[in-house]
Amino acid sequence: MIDLQIVNAVLCAACCLRLILFARSGGTHRPWASALAYLLIVAFGAIALLALFGRAPAIGWPQLVINMVVIAALFSVDGNVIELFRPASDNRQSLILRLLRREKWI
C-alpha cells in the first residue's frame, strides 16, 4: 500500500522548492504576492518537515488530490503566484489579482 503521507511530503517539498526557485526576471517586486508566496513556502515546507520527522497529520486521498492540483498549477506558471489568479482571456482582473499586483503596501 502506498503511504499517502510520504507521497504528500514529496509533493509539498517539490512545491516548496518551485516557489523558492522562482525568478522574477526583472519584473516588479509586489509585496502582497511575495507575502503569499512566503506563506505557501512555509506551509508546504512545514508539511514536508513534519513528515520527515514522523509527525505529519493524517492525510486522505482528497487532500492529496488537492495538493497535486495546486502543485501542477504552480509548476505550469513556473512558480509565479500572480499568474495563478490571472484570467485566461478576459481583461477583467479578480479582486485577489488586483490585491497581489499592488506595488505598495499602503
pLDDT at residue 86 in the model: 75
Enter the pTM of the model: 0.80
Condensed to tens digits (0 to 9), the pLDDT of residues 54-97 reads 888 888 899 999 999 898 888 888 888 888 877 666 666 666 66
Give me Rg for the CA atoms of the chain. Answer: 15
What is the rounded distance in angstroms from the CA atom of residue 82 to the CA atom of residue 40? 13
Tell me how crowded residue 81 is: count the other CB atoms within 10 A of its CB: 22
Q: 56: which residues sit within 8 A by CB, 6+ positions away?
A: 5, 8, 9, 47, 50
Condensed to tens digits (0 to 9), the pLDDT of residues 27-50 reads 778 888 899 999 999 999 999 999
